[in-house]
């Protein structure tokens, strides 16, 4: 570890992160590989079916996705970006004071218009009424 850090100190805090990723990936690959070496391999149709002791599958699993999930995903992406903008604001809140608060309220206010639009259009209703 010390040898690692000596040459380049600015990346120092990231060495544990990097080691973590390396160990995690190696663990996954090595486990799969060892399991492949050790386990017996005797397949038969019953065993290969998705649920060995359940109901037989009725249709292909890759059925078309319900489109209502998709509109939720769109709203998630856009509000996720909004959350990314909130983060530096939250870090700086003490310094910015009232000025920063008003700035962010305008930002959120404009996005709330979109939220209410989605609400009014029924994009958030799971089942259509009537």
Partner 1 sequence: MEQFFFFLFAAGAVISALLVISRRNVMHCALFLVLTFFFVAAIFVLLKAEFLAAVQVLVYAGAIMVLFTFVIFLVHIPRTEKIRQTFRQKNLALALGLLLGLEVAYILYGTMAAPASLPAAAPVGAVGNTESFGVALFTRFLFPFEVVSVLLLAAMIGAIVLAKKEIDR
Partner 2 sequence: MVPLSHYLIVSAALFAIGVAGVLVRRNAIIIFLSIEIMLNAVNLTFVAFSRFLDSLSGQIIVFFVMTVAAAEAAVGLAIIVSIYRNRESVDVDRVNLLKG
Please say which residue, 55 or 77, places its beta carbon nearer to partner 2.
77
Helix H or strand E segment including 123? none
- Binding-site member from 20, 27, 33, 76 for partner 1 (CB under 8 A): 76
Helix, strand, or coil here: 127?
coil
Q: Look up residue 4 and give its two tokens.
A: 């690692």
Residue 130 binds partner 1, judged by CB under 8 A: no
Rounded to a whole number of angstroms, the minimum distance from the CB of residue 13 to partner 2 is: 18
Residue 73 binds partner 1, judged by CB under 8 A: yes
Q: Please give the Cα distance from 114 to 10 (Å, whole number).
A: 42
Instruction: Using CB under 8 A, list all residues that contact partner 2.
Output: 67, 70, 74, 77-78, 80-81, 84-85
């Amino acid at each position: 570890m010390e040898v690692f850090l000596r040459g380049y100190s600015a990346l120092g805090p990231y060495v544990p992160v990097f080691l973590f990723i390396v160990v995690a990936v190696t663990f996954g690959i090595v486990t799969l590989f060892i399991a492949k070496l050790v386990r017996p391999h005797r397949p038969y149709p019953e065993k290969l079916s998705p649920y060995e002791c359940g109901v037989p599958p009725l249709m292909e699993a890759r059925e078309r996705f319900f489109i209502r999930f998709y509109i939720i995903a769109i709203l998630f992406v856009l509000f996720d970006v909004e959350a990314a903008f909130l983060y530096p604001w939250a870090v700086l809140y003490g310094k910015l004071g009232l000025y920063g608060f008003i700035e962010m309220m305008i930002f959120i206010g404009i996005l709330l218009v979109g939220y209410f639009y989605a609400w009014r259009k029924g994009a958030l209703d799971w089942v259509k009424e009537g």
